[in-house]
Structures are given as C-alpha cells and as structure tokens.
Amino acid sequence: MKRSKNRPLIVSLLVGTLVVAGVGLALIQTSQGAAQSQGALVKYPDYPPTPTIGPNPTLPPQLAGASAILAQSDFADASALRNWEFVDQSFVIAGAEGQWAVKDGRLAQNYAGLTHDLSTQEVAAITGDPAWHDYTVQVSFYDEFNGTAGVMAHYTGSDPTTASYYRIRALTSTFSATPKLVLERVDQGVARALVEINGPGFTSRIWHTLGLTVHGGSLQATLDGQVVAEATDSAPLSAGRAGIYTRASGGILFDDFVVTTP
C-alpha cells in the first residue's frame, strides 16, 4: 500500500523529467541556421594555429652601458599612451586616422579609423623633447602581418606631412618589395634614402629590436643588435623627438622603447 501511494509521484517525476529532457534536446537541435550562438555557417580551411607571442628580447648589450636614458616605455598600461603623439604621415580623411592601443603590455598599431579598417597609411608614434640630440632610439617589435617597422630620430615639425627626421625602416621577408631596409632622411615630408639594403627582410612572428643612433652627422642603424646600415650626413638634422614608424594595417606590436645617450 505504501508503494502504491508513492507510485503516482514517481510516475509524475519520471514523466516530467522525460518531457523536460525532450524539450531541451529539441531546443538544442533546432534553429541551426539562425541562432548566432551556433557554430560558423561558413567554415575556413585548416590553418596552422597562430603562434604564441613569445617574451620580449632582452635589452641589447650596447644599451646596457648607456650613460643616460632620455625616455623609456614598456607600455605596461594605457597610461603609457599619454606620453605619445600619434600621427598620420600623409593626408587622411576624417575617420581614417591610424589607431593605437596598449594590449597585453605592448603598444599595438590598431588599424585605421573607429571601424578598424586595414589601411596602407603610414603612421607614427612620436615622443620626447624637440631638444633631444645625439641619441640612440630603439624599440622591440613583433610583426604579425603588418610587415613594416621603423624608428625615427631627430623628428622636427608640427605637421607630420612636412616633418623632417631620420628613419630606419624595415620590411618583412614575405613582402616582395625591395629594398628591405632603408636608412633615410626625410626633409619636409620627402624621403631621401641614405642607405638601401636588399637583404632578406625581417622574419615575422618573432621579436626583433630595431635601433637608430644619431651622433652629429653619423647615423647607425641596428637590427637585433647588429649594425645593418651606416651613413654620414654632412648637414645633419640637429635635434628632435624620437618615434616609431609603421603602417595602419594593424598586426604589429612594439615594446621596450628606449632613448639613450652615450
């Protein structure tokens, strides 16, 4: 009698459980085409997983002996951006300006405009004092797919399209364009190559350091601590700020920016 009293309850629980399970399964199985929570409607072919970004390189030895550090940034957080001026190096329409951000403790070029468009626009991040002179500027960079990295020294001018400065810029080895390394002087926005190197270009997805030393009219560019270009300028740019150069294509990280004097 006791069992027979509990039977309706057991049956009800069993029926309820089955109904709930059935409805739940039905909901999960239906509406595959519309629900955004479902898997992709278009599948990509298999690509190798994106490599994990490794640790930054250690500071090259020559900077260890520097007598003075004029500026330094490890981009620990977004507050680091306050010390930088971000410029587009040629005319852009409103809304297409290069974007920058701090991501995971690194300075990231973040495409162009608020919709983060891919752009070939040349952009730069400028910092420091216009009176700086005779210094070494160096930065570590990790290229994912941008393909263009550079540093600038003795940067003068308020309008980036007519500014003057020295620049070492490098291209990734996957680009077909040459030269891969150019040490150049830019006057009033017009670049003049001092040294061109048709080397293999840098390897993407590993960290590199790129440096430029200006001492009077002597220029020396380094890549990963190795001197890659040297030049003498008979009428040198006397002073100016330092900076980082790339394109508004996203896909590149900068870190450990440092400006030192000998």
Of the two residues 96 and 125, which places its CB atom closer to other proteins in the complex?
Answer: 96
Q: How far, CA to CA in Å, does 180 sit from each of 77, 150, 164, 200?
A: 32, 11, 22, 7
Of the two residues 40 and 235, which places its CB atom closer to other proteins in the complex?
Answer: 40
Q: How far, CA to CA in Å, does 2 sit from each of 6, 14, 35, 90, 151?
A: 7, 19, 49, 89, 87
Of the two residues 182 and 259, which places its CB atom closer to other proteins in the complex?
Answer: 182
What is the SS3 assignment for 9?
A: helix
Q: Please give the Cα distance from 136 to 114 (Å, whole number).
A: 34
State which amino acid sits at residue 204.
S
CB 146 within 8 A of CB 252: yes
Nearest distance from C-beta of residue 243 to other proteins, angstroms: 20
Nearest distance from C-beta of residue 38 to other proteins, angstroms: 7
Nearest distance from C-beta of residue 18 to other proteins, angstroms: 5
Q: Name the site residues for other proteins (rule: CB under 8 A).
A: 7, 11, 14-15, 18-19, 21-23, 25-26, 29-30, 32-34, 36, 38, 40-45, 47-48, 50, 90-96, 110-111, 113-121, 145, 147-148, 171-172, 174-178, 249-251
Of the two residues 57 and 189, which places its CB atom closer to other proteins in the complex?
Answer: 189
Residue count of the chain, please give it. 262
Nearest distance from C-beta of residue 176 to other proteins, angstroms: 4
Q: Please give the Cα distance from 85 to 125 (Å, whole number).
A: 6
Nearest distance from C-beta of residue 41 to other proteins, angstroms: 5
Of the two residues 45 and 65, which places its CB atom closer to other proteins in the complex?
Answer: 45
Q: Please give the Cα distance from 203 to 188 (Å, whole number).
A: 31
